[in-house]
Amino acid sequence: MSLTSVTIISPEAANGRNVVALGVTKAFSAAKKTAVFRPAVCRKETFTDVLLEASNAGLGREQSVGVCPKRARTDKEGARADIVAAYTEAIETAQPEAVVIVGTDKSAINDPSIFAFNADVAADLKSVVLLAVCTINRTPEQVLGTVEASKTIIESAGSKVAGVFITGCKDEQVEPLKEEFAAYEVPVWTLPAVDFDEEDAVSKATEAFEANVNAEELISAVEAPFEAPTTPYAFQYSLLGKAKADKRTIVLPEGTEDRIIKAADYLLERDIVDLIIVGDKESILARGEELGLKSLEKAQFQAKDDEEVLAPMVAKLCELRAKKGMTEEQARKQLADDSYFGTMLVVLGKADGLVSGSINSTANTVRPALQVIKTKPGSSLVSGAFLMCFKDHVAVFSDCAINLNPSAEQLAEIAIQSAETAKAFGLNPKVGMLSYSTLGSGKGPDVDLVEEATALVKEKAPGLAVVGSIQFDAAWSPTVAATKAKGNDVAGHVNVFVFPDLCAGNIGYKAVQRSSGALAVGPVLQGLNRPVNDLSRGATVQDIINTVALTAIEAQ
């Protein structure tokens, strides 16, 4: 069942917006099972209760609100993440056909950025926007200017304006406004002022809305085709949702690290994955209590000196490393290492995947996996990709973590692995084999290598959309591609960027991450038999949460 989602926001957020919100909620509720959601609203306000009474999805107030306005003002990034989570839970609970999202209310504290915040939230929730602009003390030209300025902010966030309501209209203003907006690209409706502090305001607002707005036209405008963006907040929560839908067990070998147990607590509280935390249970729980964590007890804890687990682990490691002459004594010494111990829990089938690296190097995380988990059938190498979450879409960058100077054959394999990663996370892969040359514009051995790799990709995966060699700008921008790669359908639309070597890849992803504000999730280690993923030693708690979730999805 598809969901119709519409957000109502206003630069002023005064009573005119409330007339729109109530009217839209009633119009949709008459035609569909409709929920109401308030991303950021004060618990003391009462208008939300009016909207809930007008809706018919059966949600209560607690389920229909995200965060308080102060949180939206002081911690916009954290608030957006929690709003997406609350919204998703509300939709999962009610299973509505439509949802009316109503932005922040008028406040005595003026936050100049709050309108942009409302637009960002609309994009996070994959919702189109109905814009409400008040005409009081404005000429028709000034109303149009306000609409256009607001529309720019909404579109910049990644959403679109589906319709415009001009509120507070006196009878003599209606015709001049209609003339001003006669050729406007989306429907425009005018509404008279209704004071919600007056008695019988709800019936007056309903009457005014129904007299001036055709419900069928309204619903048709909202349901017009729209390619919703995937913002970083939407992507992060989609990871959690996918992981939760088919739970897997992930082992965390670094149980003494605060960031690890904070992330574990978050995931366990929301029942997203099952976790095995390596370390002493009592000391980890004691540290969790000091940090104010409430859900760590839901984890399974595994001490490294537990002979019931250690003995079969030693035997299995000796078996797997028999050709290297591994003895029992050597195996026990090897298993004193957290990463080795955690990796063997995966080998023994006690866990579906592993996440490590917050206090260990990439080599320490990858080496045990290469030695005992090994590569998938048909894979000759392991590579590292990052999921790069931009303002309105997700791309894959690789290899940014493992292979120093891949050969043409290895580069082709990295490209095919990365395309499979893109598919696993819902992307339709379009691969760009990056170089300093676009389709023969430059010459040299490095270009030759990339062009040879591109030919191998086409040979090994004939159905895969790929272009190479290609410069980053021609891969990224349709405008640049129209000049540099005219007629090529992939150029300008690449979402899997394959760098020619580790130096370029590591610099490239970090440069983009830090300069653009993109969220980098990963690295995803590609090509292993079982999912093992590495953390940056500078990883935040949110980075760890995301990496555990994507590891669980890979394990599915």
For the stretch 428-446, pLDDT in tens is 999 999 999 999 999 999 9
* Secondary structure of residue 164 in the 3-state scheme: strand
Sign of torsion over alpha carbons 494, 529, 260, 85: positive
- In sequence order, the 6+-apart residues with CB closer than 8 A to the CB of 30 are 215
Spell 510-526 as b/e; 16+ CB within 10 A means b.
Answer: eebbeeeebbbbbbbbb
Yes or no: say if 496 and 429 are a contact pair by the CB < 8 Å rule: yes
Write down the pLDDT at residue 303.
Answer: 93
For the stretch 228-273, pLDDT in tens is 888 888 888 888 888 998 999 999 999 999 999 999 999 999 899 9
Exposed/middle/buried for 349, CB within 10 Å: 0-12, 13-18, 19+? exposed
Q: Does the pLDDT of residue 300 top 60, yes or no?
A: yes
Q: Does the pLDDT of residue 1 top 60, yes or no?
A: no
Q: Does the pLDDT of residue 13 top 80, yes or no?
A: no
For the stretch 357-398, pLDDT in tens is 888 777 778 888 888 888 888 889 999 999 999 988 999 999
Instruction: Give residue for tokens 């929560």.
Output: 237
Task: Compute how many other C-beta atoms are within 10 angstroms of the C-beta atom of residue 138.
Answer: 17
Strands (DSSP E) contained in 358-464 are: 383-389, 394-398, 430-434
The rounded distance, in Å, linking the Cα atoms of 359 and 426 is: 31
Q: How confident is the model at residue 14 (pLDDT cuts 50, 70, 90)?
A: low
The C-alpha R_g of the chain, in whole angstroms, comes to 27
The rounded distance, in Å, linking the Cα atoms of 369 and 53 is: 56
pTM: 0.79
The rounded distance, in Å, linking the Cα atoms of 15 and 132 is: 10
Q: Does the pLDDT of residue 334 top 90, yes or no?
A: no
Q: What is the mean pLDDT of residues 49-60?
A: 96
Strands 394-398 and 383-389 come out as antiparallel
